[in-house]
Structures are given as C-alpha cells and as structure tokens.
Amino acid sequence: MKKITEFINQSYQELTTKVSWPSGGDLNNQTILVLVSSLIFALLIGLMDFGFKSLMSVFYNL
C-alpha cells in the first residue's frame, strides 16, 4: 500500500512541478488546427473513395 501511495504522490508532484502545460490560447489554436486538419483529411479520403467507386462502377459496367 505504501508503494501505491508513494507512486501517486510522485505522479502528482511531477504533474504540478515538472510538466509544462500549454496556455489557454495555445490550446485553442492547437485544437482548431487539429479540427481543420482532420476535416481536410476526411474530405481528401472521401474524394478518393468517390473516385475509386466511380472508377470501379465504370470498370464493372463494361
């Protein structure tokens, strides 16, 4: 039990003193960047899927 308590205390110490947390503005900017990037990748994959579907439709209808 002592090891668990010591581990939790050390983890808390590390999270409060050694970890550098981003500021609110940085966090918002990074969140927006991730959302925009995800949307762009989703659109690209959707376009590729549509293109392959169309190509396969043409191929199978020959």
Q: Identify whether 39 is part of a domain.
A: yes
Q: Identify whether 9 is part of a domain.
A: no
Q: What is the pTM of this model?
A: 0.65
Range of the domain at 32: 22-62
Asked if 16 contacts 8 with a C-beta cutoff of 8 angstroms, the reply is no
Instruction: Count Cβ neighbours within 10 Å for each residue of 31-53 and write b for 16 or more, e otherwise.
Output: eeeeeeeeeeeeeeeeeeeeeee
Instruction: Count Cβ neighbours within 10 Å for each residue of 11-26 and write b for 16 or more, e otherwise.
Output: eeeeeeeeeeeeeeee
Domain total in the chain: 1
Task: Give the Cα separation of 22 and 17 in Å (integer).
Answer: 14
Q: Identify whether 42 is part of a domain.
A: yes
Q: Identify whether 5 is part of a domain.
A: no
Q: Identify whether 59 is part of a domain.
A: yes
Q: How confident is the model at residue 62 (pLDDT cuts 50, 70, 90)?
A: confident
pLDDT at 55: 95
Q: Identify whether 38 is part of a domain.
A: yes
